[in-house]
Amino acid sequence: MNWTASDIPPQEGRRAVITGANSGIGFHAALELARHGAEIVLPARSEAKAEDAIRRIRAEVPQAKLTPALLDLSSRRSVRRFVETIDDRFPGGSIDVLINNAGVMALPRRELTEDGFERQFATNFLGPFALTALLFPRLKPASGTRIVTLASLIVHQGRIDFDNLQSERKYVSLYGAYAQSKLADLIFALELQRRLSRAGSPIASLAAHPGIAVTNLMAHFTGLYKLLGRFLTPVIAQSAERGALPGLFAATAPEAAAGGYYGPNGAGERKGFPAPARLPAAAADEALASRLWDTAERLTKTRFDVVG
């Protein structure tokens, strides 16, 4: 049977933090979780973007419990400030779901963040790693608590190149820097589950990818990619609403397994309903995962000890 948003179990009493919820897949994830009763924390890069998303969700779910916040994942300082906001707003901490959804793709030129990192690697991987590490003590240590990280079909083209992690030797925007950052997300999500299991934690880490979905993600495409995107997207892609389903499945479905990876069930995993997704070989490389974890801790200056 095809799993849809109407299969989301009741979410009353649950609190979810969803990054990038002002646009695309994250917005639809927030809307559906709110529709099912969850309280949503929506961090965005500006107050106006967070408030606009809240307005659009309230138009469909007037009773939704929504908290705006500020977060720029490319900035170590901003990630820490966001976690302070969470502590101020929700003392004691009690987060049931964290969806690491925000991302940026295909920047035409190599850009550095204020911390000196390549922007796609910083936004898509280092920021979510630090955010997850800092929020971890604020997650409910209970079965049902889930951390979901968004990967991508492009993980199959990705390679973690420790000699070119910041694209300092060579910058290839889509199949280089972006693919590496999304593969890092997947490796992180699976390694996190290994560490949670070893620590005996009831919290689960899962990964998901949306297939190809019509969102703002392709806004940075130029030249041939832009042209191809314009003509091919309507044929090969699905709606953002549908693209949100694998992440929602990972975040809520009782049948989603800890350490699972979910994507659409159609041809090439481009469209369809949530189902187990194909993993690249690198996802099983535990030595690579450990090295990436240590590297992320060092670069973000954030220690991430997974405790039970």
Ligand X SMILES: NC(=O)c1ccc[n+]([C@@H]2O[C@H](COP(=O)([O-])OP(=O)(O)OC[C@H]3O[C@@H](n4cnc5c(N)ncnc54)[C@H](OP(=O)(O)O)[C@@H]3O)[C@@H](O)[C@H]2O)c1
Number of other residues whose CB lies within 10 A of the CB of residue 246? 35
**Axis-axis angle for helices 127-135, 286-300 (nearest 10):** 80
Q: How far apart are CA 267 and CA 282, in angstroms?
A: 22
* Cβ at position 102, least distance to ligand X in Å: 3
Phi, psi (degrees; rounded to nearest 5) at 37: 100, -5
Q: Which residue number has the CB closest to ligand X? A: 24
What residues make contact with ligand X under the rule CB under 6 A? Answer: 19-20, 22-26, 44-45, 49, 71-74, 101-105, 123, 150, 152, 182, 209-210, 212-213, 215-217, 243
Looking at the Cβ atoms of 114 and 294, the one nearer to ligand X is 114
In this complex, which beta carbon is closest to ligand X, that of residue 55 or of residue 198? 55
Least Å from the CB of residue 121 to ligand X: 12
**Nearer residue to ligand X within complex by CB, 201 or 300:** 300
178 in active site? yes
Question: What order do you get walking across the sheet with 204-208 strand by strand?
Answer: 65-70, 39-44, 15-18, 97-100, 146-150, 204-208, 261-264, 274-276
Of 178, 225, 261, 262, catalytic: 178
Q: How far is the CB of 160 from ligand X (least distance, A)?
A: 16
**Residue 151, φ and ψ in degrees, nearest 5:** -105, -145
* Residue (203 or 277) nearer to ligand X, CB: 277
Rounded distance between C-alpha atoms, residue 31 and residue 29, angstroms: 6
Across-strand partners of 262? Answer: 208, 276
Residue 78 beta carbon to ligand X: minimum distance, rounded to whole angstroms = 8
Catalytic residues: 178
